[in-house]
Amino acid sequence: MLIIALWISLTLIVLAMAINVYRLAKGPDIPDRLLALDTMYVNAIALIVIVGLWLNTKTYFEAAILIAMLGFISTMAICRYLLRGDIIE
Amino acid sequence: MSLPFIAEALVSLLLVLGGLFAFTGSLGMLQFEDFFMRLHGPTKGTTLGIGCVLIASMVYFTLYQREPHMQELLITLFLFITAPVTGHMLAKTGLHMHLRFITSTRGSLPELLDEDVGQNRVARPGRPKRPSGVKSRKRQLLKSRGR
């Protein structure tokens, strides 16, 4: 049962990442692409956690924490750049 | 698997729910026709989905290795704190860049400050008329003197 649930969840998250890639390529404006990139970060965390659950190891959680922090900081930096024209004033 | 049946069912349910929520959030980002509408899917649906996945992982490792496993709770808290901040900054960026939006989704006129948006002025509700009293007459007097 757990294996089936893992397959379903992995498939859905890979589909979500494919949708994000589509929006990242197509998105009419810069904030659309930024939103797609941010969602892709979050989906990558879900993917890594599911792979760690599948392989039954705890190794991947540090990578998940790192991806979460880098995603937040990079999104903030690009938003600041678009809003103010400068990241650190 | 050495997990009891109920725990395995709980972990499976949380995993499938998380995948569904994440997929729904991305589908919202695909389907909606406006940046400000598209912002709704990822900020709510995807955040809830990854919360479900992380809690499933936490339950699984706590029961499987018979010791509390709290790193996922850390990631969950971090994501739940940062997702609204990211959404707010993205919405501010969209307002600043004057993105095209669908006028039919607009309920009432927005009350926006000038520093929230870019250079051009924004439609805002009209100011209530000042009653013609002592103050307004004083102001007219000042204006007529050339101030």
A32·B71 Cβ contact <8 A = no
Q: How far does the CA of residue B109 sit from the closest CA of chain A (Å)?
A: 23
B49–A46: do the CB atoms touch at under 8 Å?
A: yes
**Residues of chain A numbered 17-76 and touching chain B (CB < 8 Å):** 17, 19-20, 22-23, 28-32, 34-36, 38-39, 42-43, 45-46, 49-50, 52-53, 56, 58, 61, 64-65, 68-69, 72, 75-76
* Per-residue confidence (pLDDT) for residue A20, from 0 to 100: 93
| The pLDDT value given to residue B147 | 47
Residue B108: predicted pLDDT: 60
To the nearest whole angstrom, how far is the Cα of A88 from the nearest Cα of chain B? Answer: 15
Q: Which of A36, A47, A20, A49 has the alpha carbon at shortest distance from A75? A: A36
Whole-number Cα distances in Å, B73 to A7, A65, B21: 23, 11, 19
Report the pLDDT averaged over residues B140-146.
Answer: 58
A67, A41 in Cβ contact below 8 A? yes
Q: What was the pLDDT predicted at B4?
A: 84
Compare B122 and A38 and report the one with higher pLDDT. A38
The interface predicted TM-score of the complex, written ipTM, equals 0.90
* Res B26: pLDDT: 92
Q: Which residue has the tokens 């797609």?
A: A36
Average pLDDT over residues B70-78: 88
* Confidence class for position B34, pLDDT limits 50, 70, 90: confident
Alpha carbon of B143: minimum distance to chain A alpha carbons (Å): 37
Residues B34-63, mean pLDDT to the nearest whole number: 91
Using alpha carbons, list the distances in angstroms from residue A3 to A44, A57, A59, B115, B130.
20, 15, 20, 52, 70
B57 touches B72 (CB < 8 A): yes
The two structure tokens encoding residue B79: 């994501």
A46 near B42, Cβ under 8 Å?
A: no
- Using the predicted structure, report yes or no on whether residue B76 has a pLDDT greater than 80: yes
Inform me whether the pLDDT recorded for B122 exceeds 70.
no
Q: What is the mean pLDDT of chain B?
A: 80
pTM (2 decimals)? 0.78
Which residue in the set B19, B64, B97 is minimally distant from A31, CB to CB? B97
